[in-house]
Amino acid sequence: MSLLQEFLFDPPDRKIPLDQPPLENLPQWGHWIETPEYMVAIVPPGHLEVNLRSPLNLAATSFGLTQGIAAFDSDRLRPYQATPGGFDIVPQGSTYRSVEDASCFVVFGYSQAFLSRSVAEGETVELLPGQIAKTHWGLSAAIAIQDFFNNGQVGGAFYLESVITAVLGQIIYRRSTLSQHFKRPPEFLEPKLLKDSLDYIRSNISQALNLSDIATVIGFSPYHFARAFKVTTGISPYQYVLQCRVELAQQLLQDKERSIVEVAVEAGFGNQSHMTTVFRRVLQTTPKQYREAKGLPANIS
């Protein structure tokens, strides 16, 4: 069962009048995916009027130029501009007020518990309201989320967690109470730590793996583990998990007693549709075609 909940909001009027008290909930605009600890949304372009007190730590980045007036945790509205790859930061409990003509943009939302556990390794960390200048990784993260929405959420909760954790690490490094002494990730994993993490992944490949659980095995935060794993192996933890699942599925598909649906579940894909999508992308074939190429009966579904 997926941990992700999906919502689509298309209100006729995207306004929260500035003469009303800040709201304690997020405006329901656009296409949302969320879990109990984090959320991500894509909001289509248009005129916005916003007045909120944020229930989550928010970070927004746009695909194009956005202009208007805005106030980050202040009563004074100032000229405002957001460029692709930059970030607007609205910490939990702070206010954001704006009147803007917005490009399509992505919003990341984090609970305080997720923020501290994912990156700060037990230290107290708070995001600081305001803006981060344009970065190449900001636009790359937005594009990755757009692809995730457009391609049927391939990768599920593990992929989404990996992207939003990487974004959060960059934000904490640039605009938080830890910015001046944020611990740099290790350049590589020591052989024993790498072996322990690989063993854990392989032993649990049929389960709903997540970045936090794997990192905990070797005593790392998810952010630092993901960075060190990629430096050591050349691929991200998510890519490695996907590789292991494809290899296991290839082995299981050669067993004519197993249906394709059963193989998808045993290999950790969750369902046949997800496995088929991954096979097309990685192997340029489908599970059924792969099975037929091995000379197995084509009528095994």
Q: What is the pLDDT of residues 58-113, one digit of tens each?
A: 999 999 999 999 999 998 999 999 999 999 999 999 999 999 999 999 999 999 98
Band (2; pLDDT cuts 50, 70, 90): low
Q: Is 3.10.20.310 the CATH number for 5-174?
A: no
Worst-scoring range by mean pLDDT, 111-115, 122-126, 208-212? 122-126
Q: Which architecture, in CATH terms, is 240-293? A: Orthogonal Bundle (1.10)
Please state the three-class secondary structure of 208-266 as a single string.
CCCHHHHHHHCCCCHHHHHHHHHHHHCCCHHHHHHHHHHHHHHHHHCCCCCCHHHHHHH
Q: Taking all residues of the chain, what is their mean pLDDT, rounded to a whole number?
A: 89
Determine the length of the chain: 301
Q: Helix or strand or coil: residue 149?
A: helix
For the stretch 20-69, pLDDT in tens is 878 888 888 999 999 999 999 999 999 999 999 999 999 999 999 999 99
Domain boundaries defined on the chain: 5-174, 191-234, 240-293
Q: Going by DSSP bridges, is the β-strand pair 66-72/78-82 parallel, antiparallel, or unpaired?
A: antiparallel
Q: pTM of the full predicted structure?
A: 0.81
Q: Does residue 141 have a pLDDT over 50? A: yes
